[in-house]
Every structure is written in structure tokens, then in C-alpha cells.
Amino acid sequence: MIDERFHSFEDDVTDVALPRQFTWPFHYVPHRLCVIAAQQVQRYVSSRIDWVVELAEGKMLGVLVVTDADGQLGFLAAYSGNLAGRNDHPYFVPPIYDLLNPESEFRRGEREIVEINNKIDSLEQSEELKLLHERRSAMIVDQDAEYGRYKQEFDAAKEKRHAMRAAAQLTDEEREALLHESQFQKAELKRIRKRHSEQLSDIDSKLAELQGEINELRCKRKAMSEALQQRLFELYVVQNAHGEWQSVGKIFSDYAIQTERPHLSVPPGGTGECCAPKLLQYAYVNGLLPVCMAEFWWGASPAGEVRHHGHFYPACRSKCLPLLTFMLQGLDVESNQLAVSSCDDIEELYDDEWLTVVNKPAGMLSEPGKLLSDSVLTRFKTRHPEATGPVLVHRLDQETSGLLVFAKDKTTHKELQRQFAEHEVRKKYMALLDGIVEPDGGIIDLPLRQNAADRPRQMVDFDDGKRAVTMYEVLERTTDGKTWVMFSPVTGRTHQLRVHASHLQGLGIPIVGDMLYGIAADRLMLHATSITFMHPATGEQMTITCPFPQ
């Protein structure tokens, strides 16, 4: 195949075995072919001096290893969004839909919206509108001054009438005169208010007319923007390995119905601009057979997120999960390892009539999930049918191993949860970090929140995040450049230890095997090794330990 976007391997890969199945893009260890292809792409982008500044700010790139109709092995490359203001650099696959084409339907729609924006700006900055606002402000000042002067006269006359009535015996004619004076002044006060209101009403009607025109244009702009966005979802049409075509809008709508999650029916902005769908689309359209795929980050990490230069990362879920679920149909794809339960059984380290402490194997859910019913909780309930009420006291990530506490009755559960909520429970985690931690210990204090655009990833957010505090102690620095660390979390946020380890404002070194925040491996090297709590029934301080699995 002769195509400048189909790249042959510069390195000898004849001895590298092809994968048996295509990559499950949301949880994977990159195949050796993808690693070699990514290194070749990295050499290319490093040679582009004109891209240095932009790439240094951070960009996701991806590779798709393919074979052509003649069985020749090669790879495709892609970048997310645009690069140097373009989406058509010859080395990389083109976009699914060319948003930058000035003659495209999207660009024409954008120009129409820009015209409306210009009209709105022209009206809002018009001399007429400015003068009307100035006249209204000046009129209010004059009216307030006039009303204030008359009100002073009114109040002074009122006080004088009160004094006259109190000081002397008035004749009927004098009392009548005072009454008429009071009535006249009250009526005059109302006449002044009415005149002021009429004067303002004339200006307000002119302002309302102009504002109405502006509001009408704003409504038109909103309707056009929404229609254009919806149309964009129809213009992005993708293919799967069966040769079936479908619009992004229909894919998300069907996915929302199938998963019973109506909030997913509208694609997020930027859907279709990520590496994975661009790579697959180009392969299908050009008769190439996908073999394996990987995405890697190049440059600085986005603010708050964890992205390490050169590390591989799974595809984002908010934009790509529904889309790739369709596009991968027809390929023999690896099973989702997060939907496959660990074959290891749970080990009970402590058990009495009130509670049980178990050793959770890595890869097993703490409780049933949407894709997987098997879990530590499920197995615990099977073993202990005598347990009543809520039993799961706390949770561990699916990929984390170690100690979990279960209650056997409602009273025990309530008391243990109180101890967790009030930070009376002390937990320790052993972790192997993928680099050398220089300080011997310290405290990490970085607030966390969910990354709504890429669940289940968490991110650091000093404005809206919840406080997360971790104490750490270095246990050993290995000769192969890794560090064993003991973490003691003060709070218990989702992915707290994983983010605190990997984020540049934390230790800046991910845990080995952390494919969300670091580099994928056989397992996440994080283990809950110790837990200390007060026994709810006996009052005894309990410390249960469990060594890191060999």
C-alpha cells in the first residue's frame, strides 16, 4: 500500500508476535508493537521544531498498528483535535469531519452565528443605547433631587400644621385651610411621582424596544447554535468493522437507551476528535485491518489532571466509550478486564460474631458494579448468611488489594462507619512507586474532585475539590529506580493515594501499574496492609495487618 499516512516500522519487528485480539482501549497494557510505533512517532514530532512550543503544552497522540490488503504490517498515527491550527498534517490521519474547511456546512453555520454576534455587539455598543442610558441616569438624578426638595417642604409644612393645631384653638376656617393645604401637598407629591414615572416610561419603552431586539437576536443565536451542534453530530458519521455506518448522534442516543442512562444521549463537545476514533475510521475507510492500538501523552500535564510525558493512557470514556463501542463491532476485541472477576477467593483474616476482616484480591470489586456482579461483598454474603443489615463498611478500588472490614449487624455497621467518618480509623497502604522519591516522608494536601469529562479519573481542584490529606513514609529505594512507600491517608477520597502519588504537586511519581495515572502493568502495586479501629462490641483496639502479596 502506498500512502504517506501508512508508516512502515523503522525497527525490525519480525520477531514480535501479533496480539491474539485487538486492544480494549479503556483498560490495556500497550502491546510491544504499539510501543515501538509510539517511539517512532515521538522521534518524528521531536524533529518538528515548528511544533515544539505547542506540543510542550500537552497533546494526546495515538498509534494504530494495521495490516494492509497484502498483509504488510505498519501503523497509523493521530493527534487529538488540531495541531498548529491544522487537522490535515500528512504524517497523521485526517479528521472524521473537517471542521476547519471554510466551505463546510459547519463553518457556514458558524459564520451565520458570527454575523448575529456582530449585530448584537453593534446594538449593545450603539450610540443610541448609550445616550438613552445616560439620559435615564441623569433624569433619575434630577427627579430624585426635585422629589427630595419638595419632600423637605412637605415635611416642614406638615410639622408646622401639627404645631399650629397643638399651640392654639383654631377656628373652623383655619382648620379647613390646614386640611386643604395638606390635601394639596399630598396630591402634588403624587403628581410629581406620576410625572417622573411618565418621563421614565418614555425612555424605558425605547430601551425595551432596543433590548427586545437584542434578546430576539440572542434567542436566534442560541437556537442556531443548538441546531448547528445537533447537525454536527449528524455530520460525524463513522464506520465499524462490519462496514456499518452510523452518525455520532445516533450512536450516543442508542447507547443511552441500551444502558438506561438518558443523560448520555447527547455527545459532549469534541466527540470524534480524539485519536482512537480518527485512527479506526481511517483504517476502515482504507481497507486496513486493525491489529492493536495505544494512546500516549506528549508534553506538560493539564492543570489539575495527571498526565505524564510519554506515558500511555486509556481512551476517555465520556466522548469515546459510546463511540468506540460501536466502532469496535466486528473486531475480535480483548475482554474488559474490569468486567472480569479475579479468580482468587477472599481470605478471612479475622472473624467473630460482630465483624469480619478480609484480604481483597486485586482485580475484584468491593461491591457489585454495572458490568460485574461478582465482588467481595457478594462472596462475603454467601459465606455469612447470618449477617444482617448493611455490611460493607468501606471500599477499595477494584485494582487495589488488601484489608476490607465487614459488619454483621446494623449496630456494628453504624459504629464502624462513625469511626471512619470521624477519622478514628487508621489505615496504612504499601505502594511501589515508579521512580525515586527523594524526601524520606511528609504530608500531601491536595483537594480532589471527579473529572466529569473522563470518569472515573479524579483531578486536583483548589476551588471546588474536597480536601484530601495523605501522610507518607519511604520504606525502601530499590536498585532498579523504584520506591516502596507507606501511605497513611487522613481522608478517604476516591483514587486519593493514586493521584497524590502521581500528580506533580504531590510526589510526581505514579504507582507502578496505575494505567489511569501512570504506566500500565500486570497489576496496580497498591495494597491496604494495616487497619486499626475500636471494636464496636468489645471496646478493644484492633489492629489487623496483611503483608503485600508476593
What is the Cα–Cα distance from 548 to 527, expressed in whole angstroms? Answer: 6
SS (H, E, C) 26-82: CCCCCCHHHHHHHHHHHHHHHHCHHHHHHHHCCEEEEEEEEECCCCCEEEEEEECCC
Helix (H) or strand (E) holding 108: helix 105-124
Q: Which residues contact 488 (CB under 8 A, 6 or more apart)?
A: 426, 427, 428, 429, 470, 471, 472, 473
CA 192 to chain CA centroid, Å, is 58
Report angle CA 264, 265, 268 to the nearest 5 degrees: 65
Rg (CA), the chain: 35
What is the Cα–Cα distance from 544 to 550, expressed in whole angstroms? Answer: 19
CA end-to-end span of the chain, whole Å? 48
Name which of 60, 88, 91 is nearest 75 in CA terms: 91
Report in angstroms the alpha-carbon separations of 223 from 116, 230, 266, 355, 514: 12, 11, 16, 59, 44
Tell the residue number behind the cell numbers 497523521, with chain if given: 92
Three-state SS at 228: helix
Q: In DSSP terms, which residues pair with 6 in a beta bridge?
A: none
Report in angstroms the alpha-carbon separations of 278 from 202, 314, 328: 59, 15, 13
Q: Are 493 and 466 in contact (CB under 8 A)?
A: yes
Tell me phi and psi for residue 441, to 5 degrees. Answer: 180, 175
What is the Cα–Cα distance from 401 to 399, expressed in whole angstroms? Answer: 7
Residue 344 among the catalytic residues: no
Tell me phi and psi for residue 385, to 5 degrees. Answer: -65, -15
Report in angstroms the alpha-carbon separations of 166 from 157, 161, 186, 545: 14, 9, 21, 93
Is there a cis peptide before residue 456, judged by omega within 30 degrees of 0? Answer: yes
Name which of 41, 54, 38, 43 is nearest 86 in CA terms: 54
Catalytic residue among 397, 409, 434, 514: 397
Tell the residue number behind the cell numbers 496496580, with chain if given: 524
Q: Which residues contact 539 (CB under 8 A, 6 or more apart)?
A: none
Q: Are 313 and 307 in contact (CB under 8 A)?
A: yes
Report angle CA 32, 33, 38 to the nearest 5 degrees: 100
Point out the residues that are catalytic. Answer: 397
